[in-house]
Amino acid sequence: ADVDEAVGPLRDDPSVGEPARAVAESAARIRALAPGAGEEAAREIALSVARTVACAELCKQGAWATRRGSGRTAAIAARLAARGLGPGVVVDEAGLELAGWGAEEAPAQPSDVST
């Protein structure tokens, strides 16, 4: 099933609305980036898909559980979404960055760290 169909009705749910919106944004970003991404980006795209689908499932379960008095699953969905669902850095076949961190936001690489 399409992730948008799964979380679409939940975007306005007070218990899981924020993570449901993050799922929809991540799915849209993956759909936009995946076709132009090179083989180098396959792992990042795959992990993004996994995080997005996992969060979508947590949103569905969290909304159901909240209606029955438990907000724990909704809280887990919110924490997962807060960590980031979509691709961090995606490169095209030429190795050029399509999206993700800019140079000033990139995490330190081992060669960037002085010892």
Strand partners, 97: 91
Kindly state the helix (H) or strand (E) to which residue 35 belongs, with its residue range. Answer: none
Long-range CB contacts for residues 28-31, cutoff 8 Å, separation at least 24: 29/86, 29/87, 29/99, 30/86, 30/87
Closest CA relative to residue 62, chosen from 21, 29, 105, 15: 15
43-47, 67-71, 89-93, 100-104: least confidently modelled range = 100-104
What tens digit of pLDDT does each residue of 5-54 get? 888 899 999 999 999 999 999 999 888 888 877 777 888 889 999 999 99
* Chain centre to alpha carbon of residue 34: 13
Q: How far apart are CA 22 and CA 104, in angstroms?
A: 24
Strand partners, 90: 99
What tens digit of pLDDT does each residue of 58-68 get? 999 999 999 99
